[in-house]
Structure 1
């Protein structure tokens, strides 16, 4: 029966079969397309494979199917978590109304391509300074609680806890179990880092996983996960894979451990070793102190044996002569000074006496003063009987004087009083 091909309207709609056929024909014209992604689901049923392929960068997923006739041509080790490129042909199933991607060919992504992408990311992060040693935080000497991110019941978890508790039995863990490969690994590990970093009781975070192939470790080179680790304030230890493995998380982490066992040994100090170090330090300190005391005791004994300290009398004996000599000299100088001063006093006394008015009076002279205290120097200064005060060589006298004619020098004749 011919199917009407005219444009559909409300009055003349298409049958569902016609719409399905048009979709099938249009999708068939798309042909085969090569896509890249990560296998997040891989189910085998009746020889066929039904799975899902997730975009590497964004949240986008498509379903795919691999028929048994094609399965023999794809690698036998493909499984969930593998990163692949696939040639797919879109197919619309009209009867079921579903769109599927039929895989024509599928293979692992070339390691060269992956390594090139990782190297570009590594260089970009290095240029930002995320690998700078100056950014790396110092691990605490003795962490009281360790945050552990690892797979549930994994050998990595057992290795870390067993070795840590053997070295320091009191150490505590806060463990967050996450997927360590596959499509959930990046989101869960990132969330676990942020959760443990927000816990103030967690002193250090260990991200641990056992060995694995290159592709299984790709999640630990995811840019988002790496940036979350770089932004954490809590020191992070990366213990991913083995010595030869080097995911980008190792470069950003504050400490890179080659294995989970190595992480436990480097994060937790050995109590027996630390006690031995303390005993050795105490022994060295005791020896050093004993040696210092012995040396100082010998030095004090040597000082005490010196004559200067053996007997203090020598200080007086050696200075006695100097003291006696200085005392004799002082006495001599003092006597000489007294004698010279005595002579100077006698000389000054003689001069004073020679100039003294009293000695002149003792030779027979007198000082005549009026009652007002004026000294009389001539008879012309007398006005009749004038009261006078006479100072003699010894004592004084009072009386009156009266002029009696001029003397030889124009004064009174004899200066006699009445």
Structure 2
């Protein structure tokens, strides 16, 4: 005997024997929710994204940390006179809407107004101004990235798309590049401290040439840890060049301002940190071709210039240089010889004059005129006749020799007779 289970249509209470189908339950929920009507609520936009003209956003109560999803159709969005973005404090006229197929609840927005800058964005603006005044955003303190890092430190989530994008694109550009991975929480309460610890660890590693902090896109709230003050000051104190690759082009946490380089995406970070080997080889080939062309042009120009100089008449027949100066050289040689002869003659005459003067004063000439020098035995010269004694031997020096003699008579005055 088979047991037949009746399927309830929602008109009777559900029982184990007659449960409601999911569609019945969902329909009852939608009907009950549709009767709730519209209500004004206040909160902060933590996400704002447009797709096909429609807007999908999140509204958060910061005090209670409660978030609801908002949906704004394009027709309603077209009626707004104000522009909105994540971080804005708003009031919204919403009506709960239950989607049957997905089983999700969202708030359909009929009106949206600003009520001032959100608390979160206001705190970020105050922190931005403070760090800017301290010079943490200044271009002067940013470190230039190395041309070709041998080892890249990567702080990212474990098994994340950001890790795959950075590693894959970097190795495609330069296959020999190495990575030092440091996994960290990239969202949630411990994200800021975990990422800061990863930066400090890689900064202390002497083999790491550059550090990339990578995370995929996310809403404004999920990226708040990357605007944490402690993390920002850790990044500012980092000695190793730091690249921020957080979110997509529209996302701009404060870490982007402190980092030495901001990349719009993890893929962009890999492209900006690692050079492309094919591009570099092409540049080397281009440089070599330019150098070869310039050297060839320089050598060719110098060869042409030498040929032009050699073709000039002055170098075509170099003998004229000697011939044009030969007569002049002959004159100068003759003039030199004449001056030399004149100088020699003049000095010869002077030598003769000095020779004559010297001979006139020479004792030899005196002796040649008949005079003699009388010397005693001890070699003393006899200067006066009175000094001579009878019988004293003397040595007489004459012009052509010497003779010995003896004083045989006493001295008598000069000019007297004997």
TM range (shorter): 0.5 to 0.7
The structural deviation recorded for 1:280 is 1.1
**CA gap 1:411/1:231 in 2 versus in 1, 3 angstroms:** same
Counterpart mapping for 1:261-272 below 5 A = 261-272=267-278
2:233 and 2:204 map into 1 onto residues whose CA distance is: 16
Question: Equivalences for 1:154-165 in 2 at 5 Å?
Answer: 154-165=160-171
Within the candidate set 127, 137, 140, 1:134 is matched to: 140
Distance 1:156 1:403, change over 3 A: closer
Match of 1:169 among 167, 171, 175: 175
- What SS class does the counterpart of residue 239 from structure 1 fall into? strand
Query: Secondary structure in 2 aligned to 1:147?
Result: strand
SS in 2 for 1:258: coil
Question: For 2:223, which of 217, 231, 234 is the aligned residue?
Answer: 217
Determine which of 189, 194, 210 is the counterpart of 1:204: 210
Distance in 2 separating the partners of 1:146 and 1:386: 126
1:301 aligned partner: 307
Instruction: Give, in whole Å, the separation in 2 of the partners of 1:118 and 1:257.
Output: 21
Matched, 1:85 2:63: yes
CA drift at 1:199: 3.6
TM-score, L = length of structure 1 = 0.61
Aligned mate of 1:232, from 238, 253, 259:
238
- Tell me the secondary structure at the aligned position of residue 282 of structure 2: helix
Pairs aligned (count): 321
Matches within 5 A, 1:363-402: 365-367=370-372, 369=374, 371=376, 374-375=381-382, 398-400=404-406, 402=408
Give matches, 1:58-207, under 5 Å. Answer: 84-86=62-64, 112-207=118-213
Q: Does 1:412 align with 2:390?
A: no
Residue from 248, 259, 268 that aligns with 1:242:
248
Q: Gapped runs of 5+ residues in structure 1? A: 1-69, 89-106, 414-418
Please give the secondary structure, in 1, of the residue aligned with 2:175: coil
Backbone CA RMSD of aligned residues: 4.3
Report the Cα offset of residue 123 of structure 1.
1.6
SS, match of residue 208 in structure 2: coil
- Name the SS of the counterpart of 2:148 in structure 1: coil
> Structure 2: 5+ residue runs without aligned partners?
1-35, 48-57, 67-106, 108-114
Give the drift of 1:118.
0.8
Q: Which moved more, 1:294-303 or 1:262-271?
A: 294-303
SS in structure 1 of the partner of residue 245 of structure 2: strand
Secondary structure class of the residue paired with 1:215: coil
1:280 and 2:286 correspond: yes
- Distance across 2 between alignment mates of 1:87 and 1:265: 38
* TM-score computed with the length of structure 2 as normaliser: 0.61
Aligned counterparts of 1:144 and 1:274: Cα–Cα separation in 2:
16
Secondary structure of residue in 2 paired with 1:85: coil
- Larger Rg belongs to: 1
Maintained 8 Å contact 2:157/2:215: yes
Distance 1:137 1:358, change over 3 A: closer
Verify: 1:326 aligned to 2:332, yes or no.
yes
CA distance in structure 1 between the partners assigned to 2:152 and 2:117 by the alignment: 35
Greater shift in the superposed pair: 176-185 or 340-349: 340-349
Q: Deviations over 1:258-301 (max 9, x none)?
A: 22222222122122222211111111111121122223333443
Measured in 2, the distance between the counterparts of 1:368 and 1:268 equals 116
For residues 116 and 180 of structure 1, what CA distance do their matches in structure 2 show?
23
> What SS is found at the alignment partner of 1:214?
coil
- Per-residue deviation at 1:312? 5.8
